[in-house]
Amino acid sequence: MAKNSILATALANFDRAAAMLEEQVDAELLDKIRRPRERIEITLGPQLGDKKIRTFRAFIVRHSEALGPAKGGIRMTPGVTPEDVTGLAMEMTWKCALVGVPFGGGKSGIVADAAELDKFDKETLVRSFARNAHRHIGPQVYVPAPDMGTNERDMGHIKDTISFSMGQATTQGCYVTGKPVILGGIPGRREATGNGVVICVEEAFKSLGMEMRGATAVVQGFGNVGAIAARSLHELDARIIAASDLYGAVANEKGLDIDALTEHVGKTGSVKDFAGGSAVDGQKMLEMPCDVLVPAASANQITAENAPRISAKIIAEGANGPTSPKADEILNERDVYMIPDILCNAGGVFVSYLEFTQETQQEQMTEQEVATRLRQRMTEKFRQVHELTHERKISMRDAAMYLGVSTVCSAMVARGYLS
Ligand code: NAD
């Protein structure tokens, strides 16, 4: 396992929480939840548009079901590994527990480059995943959602494929969240993670006595989470002074025009060559002085190497695992205000839970209801973590992990030790 892998980071974060719980929880129980409950590898062999059969690896990990069915997105990237998926599933376990939804932690990975596949081939691959993974997916087992490289459209195809496999026009209960509203999705799910990140940022600003108007922000990753977070910060009159994606980074001290940038990304697929800013180095961009840095791309972007040079006052982890444990220590010593991933990006899974209940109860929530409930829950959880941070003089990450892990342990004790 590489030193700074997603799994290594997840385990390091867990071990610190476990040490805090040593006197309250049996060592055997902590040892048990340090490991995933189930890891599945599937080989997909769809015939793509060129009529050739291509082989793809896919993984599903159910880390814990102490609180309910496993919940977690499907990552489609060329480099995703079973270890990554295990680490991400583990983080989902604590995130669901922390944000107070009755789900366990899960995650899927499909080893493919989503950007390289045309619409038809992507649909073929996603449908192949749904057919082959069908028996591992369901409202009582594992409920996927979008993650890097997958989106609303893919979730619609998963629901449709599973319905057809069952010989039905639809599914009973929620098999997948983050799907189009017309197929039982919920308004505001696509925006929920990015908006949740910004609700946390607003709370952090309040606790530091800072003003949002005119504040500066740098956003890494201009996909689902990053683009929505950028828009939401922009609507609060913050200035987005730089943004990046896999292909490039742009900066403008006066603030990027988010409407124009979104249009440019819609047309070209990247922030690269945006005329409203100048090109900068994506890694150097992370070190730009700013009020808030939102890493919303891949894991392990803030490391021991660049952490000493990070000049943001606040880091709001939109991505999962963007900060290595060593970098975390450095930033903590430097008093950088860190909003940890399991809190900061939990808005997505919270709204997924609303979608799950909406589908079970067969009633449609409005966008306004979703936004109100998201704000209430994120604010409540932020304050709970913040309070514990001050009470126990620990980091926000340790406080969030403590709350998440202890909740899962309580559920395991309540269930008993038979499985
Ligand atoms: P996405 O695929 O929609 O977007 C990812 C963006 O990051 C793209 O713009 C991509 O080009 C960019 N990117 C990838 N690697 C990069 C790098 N090294 N440097 C700069 N940019 C890079 O994915 P997403 O759904 O927005 O997810 C982003 C992160 O947020 C992931 O870590 C994901 O696990 C996490 N997350 C997503 C959700 C959700 O609801 N989608 C929920 C919780 C957490």
How many whole angstroms from 150 Cα to the centroid of ligand 1? 10
Q: How far apart are alpha carbons 220 and 288 in whole angstroms?
A: 12
| Residue 187 in tokens | 């308004």
Q: Give the ligand 1 atom nearest the CA of 301.
A: 18
| Residue 169 in tokens | 């026009």
Residue 134: the pLDDT is 96
* pLDDT, tens only, 81-139: 999 999 999 999 999 999 999 999 999 999 999 999 999 999 999 999 999 999 999 99
How many whole angstroms from 333 Cα to the centroid of ligand 1? 27
Q: Give the ligand 1 atom nearest the CA of 320.
A: 32
Backbone angles phi, psi at 153, to 5 degrees: -60, -45
Q: From residue 56, give the alpha-carbon distance in Å to each of 87, 109, 121, 195, 353.
A: 21, 10, 12, 33, 30
The percentage of residues in the chain with a pLDDT greater than 90, rounded to a whole number, is 95
Residue 253: the pLDDT is 97
Q: Give the ligand 1 atom nearest the CA of 149.
A: 2
Domain 191-344 has CATH 3.40.50.720: yes
Instruction: Please tell me the residue having the least CA distance from ligand 1 atom 2.
Output: 148
Q: What lines the ligand 1 site, CB under 6 Å?
A: 146-149, 193, 220-226, 244-246, 282, 296-298, 318-320, 345, 348
Q: How far apart are alpha carbons 386 and 85 in whole angstroms?
A: 29
Residue 169: the pLDDT is 86
Average pLDDT score over the chain: 96
How many whole angstroms from 76 Cα to the centroid of ligand 1? 11
According to DSSP, the residues that pair with 249 across neighbouring strands are 244, 280
Instruction: Please tell me the residue having the least CA distance from ligand 1 atom 29.
Output: 319
* pLDDT, tens only, 64-75: 999 999 999 999
Domain ranges of the chain: 39-179, 191-344
- The pTM for the full model equals 0.96
Provide CATH code, domain 39-179: 3.40.50.10860
Pairing mode of beta strands 142-143, 216-220: unpaired
How many whole angstroms from 393 Cα to the centroid of ligand 1? 31
Residue 162: the pLDDT is 97
Q: How many CB atoms lie within 10 A of CB 19?
A: 11
Q: How far apart are alpha carbons 60 and 328 in whole angstroms?
A: 28
- Of 172 and 2, the one with more pLDDT: 172
Indicate the length of the chain as a whole number: 419
Backbone angles phi, psi at 59, to 5 degrees: -135, 145
- Cα 289 from chain centre: 25
Instruction: Please tell me the residue having the least CA distance from ligand 1 atom 16.
Output: 246
Within this chain, domains 39-179 and 191-344 share the same CATH topology? yes
Q: How far apart are alpha carbons 419 and 250 in whole angstroms?
A: 52
Instruction: Please tell me the residue having the least CA distance from ligand 1 atom 41.
Output: 147
* pLDDT, tens only, 351-403: 999 999 999 888 889 999 999 999 999 999 999 999 999 999 999 999 999 99
How many whole angstroms from 318 Cα to the centroid of ligand 1? 8
Residues marked active site are found at 107
Instruction: Please determine, for residue 419, whether its predicted confidence score (pLDDT) is greater than 70.
Output: no
Q: With CA atoms as reference, report the closest residue to 206 among 228, 231, 236, 186.
A: 236
Instruction: Please tell me the residue having the least CA distance from ligand 1 atom 32.
Output: 319
